[in-house]
Every structure is written in C-alpha cells, then in structure tokens.
C-alpha cells in the first residue's frame, strides 16, 4: 500500500529530526567549547579568575553563584510549593475556589522571566537595599540574595504542580485507615500522604531545581553582574546563565567565547541530567505522564 508506506516514511522523518536535532545541539556545544576545555581543563571549575584581557577563564564564581541562588531559592520555595499543593489537593480538594487558586498559580508560572526581572528590579531590590543598609553592607540592592528571592517565586509552580497530582493519588482508604486510628489531619499528612507521595514530590522539587539552574533573564537583571567570587549572599554575583547573557555579545577573542560556550555546555548537561532523573521518577512511581 504505497500511500501508507509513504506516510510511514514521512512520519519517520519526524523521529530522525528530533534525534538529529538533539545530537547536533550537543555536538555543536562540545566542539565550540573545545578550545576552552583544552586550554583550562579542570582549572575551569576551580579557578576564580575570570579575566578576558589576560585570557584566563575560571568559572568558579559563576558555579558558586549558580549553586547559591539555586539552593537558596529551592529552600525558600519548597514550603510554599508544598503548602500550595496541600491546599488544593488535600485541605480544599473539592472546593470551587481551589480551581481558581490553581489557575492563579498557573498564571504565576506563565509570567515571562523578563517581567519577573522588571518587578524584581523595581520592587525587590529596594527591599534588599534597605536590609543591606541595616546591616551596614554596601547598598547595592542587586545581589545573590535578590536573585534568589525572585527565583524562589518563579519556581514555586513547578514543584507544586507535580506535588499536587501525586498527593491526589494517595488512596483514600489509606488515609481513612489513618483517621480511623485516631490520627489528626496533620499526622495523616505527615505519616501517610508524604511517605506515599515522597518520590513524586522529590521529582517535583528536581523539576523546580532544573528550572532554577537554567533561569536567565530575571536573575541577570537583579544579580548585579559581578565577576568576583561572592563572599556572602548580599554581594552581587553571577550565575552560569547570567554571565553568558551579560558577556556573550561582547566576548573578546576566541577563548572568551569558547569559555562562555563551555559554560553553556555545562548548563545543558546539568539541566539534562536533572530533568531526566525527574522524568524517570515520575514515570516509575506515579504512572502518569507530564
């Protein structure tokens, strides 16, 4: 049946396309990072000197910046994500306003990153500046902390959307068994729901983390763009994503560009691994697709 054969052949192109695309992306990143990889090898990760003039590129400040902002934003966002998911899936599962609430949280996820940056710049930085003044620190306003605060708001919907689904999946009879033994709702949540849903919740947190790592615009606008290693969170800094955003168009020389691309490669690989793990957990333990 030549019609169906033709159809199948064309459809298969769709498969080849996505495989080819992903491979091409990886190969391009690797090939263009190579000059930098060859030049700096492991020092790239340990050196804190980022000097375009003398062509010495060490990414430690940005790795630290990324780790700090991601970790802090994750820690701040988790209680909120869990609260949101418990609100809509446990406490007020059937209330009409939960659906409205969920829509509102979706809106939060839909706001473009650059608008978070705009808001963060004009609303959050003055707040941080005031705190810095109180602590007698340089009142930059922009800092690792500012970026972490804005980031934490942005990643709340990611963990909460997964968490709320897995919490809903906890079987009713398990919860009722808990209640019939005299447990309070808090205890049922702690001792029945959370243990049952923990891998799903963990996957949701990983998804939030993946998002935090790759987030660029909002962070770039409020982190202060410093190439020094930050000594505390009130200092300006840079993440891997933000240094690329800040310097890419002004890159001087092949090594500079190659180093920035190597940073891009690192970002690509880290987010790939985290998202893969999160997806694997979701597939294995919760039987539904995201």
Partner 1 sequence: MKILKDRLFKFMVIFLALLTLFPLFSIIFMIFKNGISVINLEFFTSLPKPPGETGGGVLNAIIGTLLLIFFASLIAIPFGLLTGIFLYEYRDKKIGEILTTFVDITQGIPSIVIGIISYLWIVKKMGHFSLISGSFALSLIFLPIIAKSTKETLKMIPSYIIEASLALGISYSRTILKVVLPSSIGGILSGILLGISRISGETAPLLFTAFGNPFLNLNILKPVSSLPHLIFIYTLSPYDNWRKHAWGCALILIIIVSFISFLNKLFLKKWKIKF
Question: In the complex with partner 1, which residue's Cβ is closer, 122 or 231?
Answer: 122
CB of 214 to partner 1, least distance (A): 3
**Interacting positions 203-222 with partner 1 (CB under 8 A):** 210, 213-217, 220-221
6: contact with partner 1 by CB under 8 A: yes
Number of amino acids touching partner 1 (CB under 8 A): 78
Among positions 242-271, residues that touch partner 1 (CB under 8 A) are 244-245, 248-249, 260-261, 264, 267-268, 271
In the window 51-90, what residues touch partner 1 (CB under 8 A)? 79-80, 82-84, 86-88
Looking at residues 159 to 178 of the shown chain, list those that interact with partner 1 (rule: CB under 8 A). none
Tell me how far, at minimum, the Cβ of 136 lies from partner 1, in Å.
26
Residue 88 C-beta: closest distance to partner 1, Å:
8
- Secondary structure of the chain as H, E, C letters: CHHHHHHHHHHHHHHHHHHHHHHHHHHHHHHHHHHHHHHHCCHHHHCCCEECCCCEECCHHHHHHHHHHHHHHHHHHHHHHHHHHHHHHHHCCCCHHHHHHHHHHHHHHHCCHHHHHHHHHHHHHHHHHHHHHHCCCCCCCCCHHHHHHHHHHHHHHHHHHHHHHHHHCCCHHHHHHHHHCCCCHHHHHHHHHHHHHHHHHHHHHHHHHHHHHHCCHHHHHHCECCCCCCCCCCCCECCHHHHHHHHHHHCCHHHHHHHHHHHHHHHHHHHHHHHHHHHHHHHHHHCCCC
Tell me which stretch binds partner 1 (CB under 8 A): 39-47, 48-56, 114-122, 195-203: 114-122
CB of residue 268 to partner 1, shortest distance in Å: 5
State the nearest-atom distance from the C-beta of 130 to partner 1, in Å: 17
CB of 92 or CB of 231, closer to partner 1: 92
Enumerate residues 17-56 that contact partner 1 by CB under 8 A: 17-19, 21-22, 25, 28-29, 32
Q: Is 127 in the site for partner 1 (CB under 8 A)?
A: no
């Amino acid at each position: 049946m030549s019609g169906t054969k033709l159809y199948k052949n064309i459809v298969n192109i769709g498969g080849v396309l996505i495989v080819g695309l992903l491979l091409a992306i990886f190969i391009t990143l690797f090939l263009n990072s190579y000059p930098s990889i060859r030049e700096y090898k492991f020092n790239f990760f340990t050196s804190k000197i980022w000097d375009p003039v003398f062509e010495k590129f060490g990414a430690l400040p940005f790795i630290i910046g990324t780790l700090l902002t991601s970790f802090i934003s994750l820690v701040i966002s988790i209680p909120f994500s869990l609260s949101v998911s418990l609100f809509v899936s446990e406490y007020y599962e059937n209330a009409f306003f939960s659906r409205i609430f969920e829509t509102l949280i979706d809106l939060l996820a839909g706001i473009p990153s650059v608008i978070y940056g705009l808001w963060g710049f004009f609303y959050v930085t003055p707040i941080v500046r005031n705190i810095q003044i109180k602590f007698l620190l340089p009142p930059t306003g922009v800092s690792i902390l500012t970026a972490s605060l804005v980031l934490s708001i942005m990643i709340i919907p990611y963990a909460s959307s997964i968490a709320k689904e897995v919490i809903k999946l906890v079987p009713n009879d398990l919860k009722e068994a808990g209640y019939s033994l005299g447990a309070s709702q808090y205890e049922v949540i702690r001792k029945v729901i959370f243990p049952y849903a923990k891998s799903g919740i963990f996957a949701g947190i990983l998804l939030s983390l993946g998002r935090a790592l790759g987030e660029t615009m909002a962070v770039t606008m409020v982190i202060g763009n410093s190439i020094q290693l930050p000594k505390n969170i009130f200092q300006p800094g840079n993440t891997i994503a933000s240094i690329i955003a800040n310097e890419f168009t002004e890159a001087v020389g092949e090594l500079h560009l190659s180093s920035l691309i190597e940073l891009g490669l690192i970002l690509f690989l880290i987010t790939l691994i985290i998202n893969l793990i999160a997806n694997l957990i979701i597939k294995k333990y919760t039987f539904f697709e995201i």
